[in-house]
Amino acid sequence: MPDGKGFEAMDFVASAGVDPERVDAEALRERYRAERAHRVDTDRTAVVELTGERARWAADPFTAPVPRAPVADTVELVVVGAGFGGLLTAIRFRELGFTRIRLIDTAGDVGGVWYWNRYPGAMCDVDALTYLPRLEETGYVPRDRYASAGEILDYARTLAAQHDLTDLALFHTTVTGLRWDEGAGRWMTTTDRGDEIASTFVMVADGYFNRPRIPAIPGLDDFRGHTFHTSRWDHAYTGGADGGPLTGLAGRRVGVIGTGATAAQVVPPLARGAEHLVVFQRTPSTVGVRANGPLDPGVVADLAPGWQQERIHNFNAIVSGRRQPVDLVRDGWTDYHQAQRANLLHMEALRARVDATVDDPVTAEALKPYYAYFCTRPVFHDEYLETFNRPNTTLVDTGGRGIERLTERGVVVGGEEYALDCLVFATGFEYGTAYTRKTGFDVVGRDGLRLSEKYATRFSTLHGLMSRGFPNLFMVPGGNMQSAVTLNVLYTLDENALHAAHVAAGTRGRGARCFDVDAEAEEKWVAECVAHARDNAEFLESCTPNRFNAEGDLSRRALANANHPLPVLEFFDLLRAWRDEGSMPGLVFDE
């Protein structure tokens, strides 16, 4: 099946041997309710601060900082974050005539999540021809249908080089504050390297998944073995920096906590390298068919100009529920939506896939997810489930409770201690915490207004991107920030970058020193999000706890902290129409 040419299992339910007539829907729903019920009473939100000894879990293992003198100068745009969000912002601003642009990043290079996530097996789940931006401009043809993390990082470097974006970039530099100077009509950005950079505009594009999440597990610091987070992979310990086998793990017992999208990718290479691998599971993922394989180098040669935008639109239309005459991507994401398959049957097929793949019936049962499809982020992999057939791999299911504690020797679950030499945290990233905790710095706008105070109880934006009291500032929206969301995050990053660049160019074009958001327009935008904030609540409340449903308790989240109600393509059509209208309604300008 995985021939790399396309998704062949179009009738996934039938091919998995599921007979719709024999599915007991009510029994399954009852099982779903039970799986949720015994998870919601555990505290799933406690994380530890990565300071002191624990700072090692966030440190950069990839490149050493280079000493340099502090920078003090004035540019047109400061971009906080040099991942794809930052790069696309810089490119869009350049296209509208802004030249002096400084990217600032804690990392040692461009790439953002792809700089950090270099764990073995890391790749992108969105097909490369859709995911990698501006392929028609760079002329790059991805090697495989789904690109590896290394290929994506190289591509980010290619984009940065082609647009000369790194000449002013400051790497291994963490922003410590942003302050609006009303007199000068500028932002002042300060950093941990002593820099003071004035700029007319600022974009904060620091990513959704920028803080590694280490859960507050009792005994966390007692474990004497080696530990690291998947986004700070220790190749010096494991080997395999060149993409080869993890020779450093020979003879070692390795544990991995987590079974999400990252774990699914890292478990197979870990099992190949370690003497023994123990996978600690709290919630099983839905693991669909990946079907990766090489792309024909001539795959795009005969396509008409504009093919990538067409593909991106086709993908985003389908995954936001709009059936299309043709499915250009034909993979596990689009197949589910395009076939408009019943959620329950799809889940039955995924569970049948576990039975068909995993030999040991007890392990297979534990790996079956009992919740609705899209409660958690779907995963696609053709080796993850298979790995549990290896004699050197053990699944330890924690029955939804998480691991009990760490000891000097290893991990305890159900009163049993699993001795380990090394423990890998595939525990994801902080999500849904306060905005200025995510950024790591506060933003001080007009009249001393602090963003931490303004956003203390709820987000408040226009277009999910700008906020009153913070002139000439853009913030790339993360989840629930009153903007549109889609699986294809880079599409939203690029559209937001384009929108910000137009607002900045429009401000300059009017001869204004700054824009700010009109109070009424902002309230109206927030009200639209609030009005629809509970549209999806019934579904989310039926799900096992996870980051999409505020770990099982939606009341933890303010109503305004929601996505915009429009589907992604319609949302960006709305912004495009707003730009085309020309008068920039909802913004006020200081001459």
Q: How far is the CB of 273 from ligand NAP (least distance, A)?
A: 19
Which amino acid, residue 204?
V
CA dihedral 35, 36, 39, 45 (to 10 degrees): 140
> Which helix H or strand E contains 394, and what residues bound it?
strand 393-397
d(CA 128, CA 143): 9
d(CA 312, CA 133): 10
Residue with nearest beta carbon to ligand NAP: 428
Q: How far is the CB of 265 from ligand NAP (least distance, A)?
A: 6
Q: How far is the CB of 569 from ligand NAP (least distance, A)?
A: 20
Q: How far is the CB of 485 from ligand NAP (least distance, A)?
A: 11
Q: How far is the CB of 216 from ligand NAP (least distance, A)?
A: 8
Residues 6+ apart with CB under 8 A from 66: 172
Beta strands in 12-86 (DSSP E): 72-80
Crossing angle of helices 149-162 and 84-95, in 10° steps, is 20
Q: How far is the CB of 456 from ligand NAP (least distance, A)?
A: 25
3-state SS, 253-291, equals EEEEECCCHHHHHHHHHHHHHCCEEEEEECCCCCEECCC
Token couple for 422:
């090394």
3-state secondary structure of 170: strand
d(CA 471, CA 496): 17
Nearer to ligand NAP, 143 or 510 (CB): 143
Which residues lie near ligand NAP (CB under 6 A)? 123-125, 209, 215, 217, 257-263, 280, 282-283, 377, 398, 402-403, 426-429, 546
d(CA 423, CA 403): 12
Nearer to ligand NAP, 341 or 377 (CB): 377
Nearer to ligand NAP, 123 or 312 (CB): 123
Q: How far is the CB of 414 from ligand NAP (least distance, A)?
A: 13
Q: How far is the CB of 260 from ligand NAP (least distance, A)?
A: 3
Token couple for 250:
């020979």
DSSP character at residue 148: B
Nearer to ligand NAP, 429 or 571 (CB): 429
Q: How far is the CB of 215 from ligand NAP (least distance, A)?
A: 4
Query: What's the first-to-final CA gap in the chain, in angstroms?
Result: 63
Assign residue 551 a region: left if phi > 0, alpha if psi is -120 to 50, beta otherwise?
left
Residues 6+ apart with CB under 8 A from 560: 458, 459, 460, 482, 526, 529, 530, 533
> Which helix H or strand E contains 323, and what residues bound it?
none
- C-alpha dist (Å) from residue 321 to 142, 165, 314, 371, 491: 27, 37, 11, 20, 17
Q: How far is the CB of 116 from ligand NAP (least distance, A)?
A: 11
Nearer to ligand NAP, 261 or 349 (CB): 261
Q: How far is the CB of 584 from ligand NAP (least distance, A)?
A: 33
Nearer to ligand NAP, 81 or 215 (CB): 215
Nearer to ligand NAP, 259 or 460 (CB): 259
3-state SS, 34-45, equals HHHHHHHCCCCC
Residue 339: count other Cβ atoms within 10 Å of its Cβ. Answer: 15
Nearer to ligand NAP, 203 or 217 (CB): 217
Q: How far is the CB of 284 from ligand NAP (least distance, A)?
A: 8
Residue 55 has φ and ψ, to the nearest 5°, of -60, -20
Q: How far is the CB of 219 from ligand NAP (least distance, A)?
A: 12
Nearer to ligand NAP, 170 or 318 (CB): 318
- C-alpha dist (Å) from residue 546 to 44, 520, 529, 540: 9, 34, 22, 9
DSSP character at residue 189: E
